[in-house]
A and B are shown apart, each in its own frame.
Chain A
């Protein structure tokens, strides 16, 4: 029995590991190709381990996309996360703990808006930004994305509903106003939920392509995905090893963050407390 169990366990482990490796192959291929020399990238059969790794590819890739582009991506993603987090946590808290007329209606409207994909809203959002003369500006790029606050609002509302009412009652009896309760009690307690929400929001903003493509086409506002996209076109003159290094530059920061904060990412994405 135990021998059979052990065999079954090792087969199980082998299968699951093999699947994981297959899932990771494209990313491993990306990491290896980013450091290949020109001969290695064009050689057939393919080379798996670049020897010696050509570190200069990374510097070339940063030159290619431009430091300004990386800074723009940080400004865009950082602003979206900061403003959206503030809006959603405040709205979520109010809808969970403050009793006011029309609260139920607001929740219903917010939930309904979740089902209209951003791509479908692309044209109306573009028209609004254009009419406000905000094309090719940071606010024009950031604010409409911040407005997609439904998911976060509902997430924080679910979180705060679980917060015992007694806690808030006690604070109110001690004379604390809502503002103080929000900042001193709700926000500090929301740590894990906030971390999960910010992680996922940052990832989405960092990877956003079609919206910046439409509203912010000037080079001085360009974000990373816009610099990366042309590398996929058939006619690109950028050698593949430099293109792969550019992908590395745009993906690795997020990947490292993911490996460190995997728990929060998984919680934010699946809305559960895994692990």
Chain B
């Protein structure tokens, strides 16, 4: 199936430098991280803030937010293909109710990547909410009470009080989410779009798999794996550094 290995020095890395497809895949990966990370942080934090309350039955409502965590990426691929169905799908029907003519999500080069990102965000919100809720429960309620008595509204409270206090959690959520978007997205892309249409969802991890197990070039795919690893952790370092600057 795969020929026996032969040592070629840095040949595979040199090939990487001239590979336009790898550059494209890097760009797609970066876009996916961008589309996926911000909503996961914002929605997770807002949801956790709202869920950090003492109502009767709040635990059941929390469960609603947590439920997507049990469904596998592959199963959500099947489910969302059905939801994204352009003519009869649930999403386009809901959009038609408010007068929007929904796009053919998965077969459009423009909408396929956002569609993938949307599923990944839906799958990432449970963990992000859990982590933020754990952080919020560690904040003494007197702090939040004091801010409320001083007249802070919901948004002011989030931005000036909570956001600075949950910074370590934001770093953790970013780490987990970026890894999920960069590497974990493979299962979903493999089951929904196979990198298409026209390579518009061909992320580095999918490109690596395709090179190794469909084109049987294990050597070059290994170089791609290393490149992918370095690129993602570079991005992550940059994100965390910018984040530290932003929330001084």
Q: Which residues of A contact B (CB under 8 A)?
A: 9, 12-13, 15-17, 19-21, 23-27, 29-30, 33, 42, 44-46, 115-120, 122-124, 126-127, 203, 206-207, 209-210, 213-214, 225, 228-229, 231-233, 240, 243-244, 246-247, 250-251, 254-255, 258-259, 262, 265-266, 269-270, 272, 274-275
A275 to B88, CA, bound (A): 41
Most buried by B among A9, A45, A120: A120
Of B71, B75, B79, most buried by chain A (CB within 10 Å of CB) is B75
Question: Which residue of the partner chain B has the closest CB to A9?
Answer: B55
* 8 A-B pairs with the lowest CB-CB distances in the bound complex, closest first: A20-B64, A207-B72, A232-B191, A272-B134, A119-B183, A117-B183, A232-B77, A16-B50
Bound Cα distance A134, B105 (Å): 41
User: Could you list some 12 contacts between A and B, CB below 8 A?
Assistant: A12-B50, A13-B55, A16-B51, A23-B64, A23-B68, A46-B93, A119-B209, A122-B225, A210-B187, A246-B78, A258-B66, A266-B130
**Alpha-carbon distance A25/B119, docked complex (angstroms):** 13
Query: In the assembly, what is the distance between CA of A21 and CA of B192, in Å?
Result: 25
Among the listed B59, B64, B205, B229, which residue makes an inter-chain contact with A24, where contact means beta carbons less than 8 Å apart? B64
Residue of B nearest to A214 (CB): B213
Give the contacting residue for B127; candidates A123, A269, A275; CB below 8 A: A269
Count A-B pairs with CB separation below 8 Å: 170
Bound: A224/B100 CA distance, A: 37
Please name 4 further chain A to chain B contacts, defined as beta carbons within 8 Å, in addition to the given A12-B53, A251-B71, A265-B66, sorted by A numbering.
A30-B79, A46-B90, A116-B229, A232-B77
Interface contact A23-B50, CB-CB below 8 Å: no
A114 to B62, CA, bound (A): 29
Interface residue SS majority, chain A: helix
- Chain B interface category by residue count: 35 or more
Determine the main DSSP class of B at the interface with A. Answer: helix
Q: Are B229 and A33 in contact (CB under 8 A)?
A: no
Q: Mark B156-192, 1 if CB is under 8 A from A, else 0.
A: 0000000000000000000000010011101100111
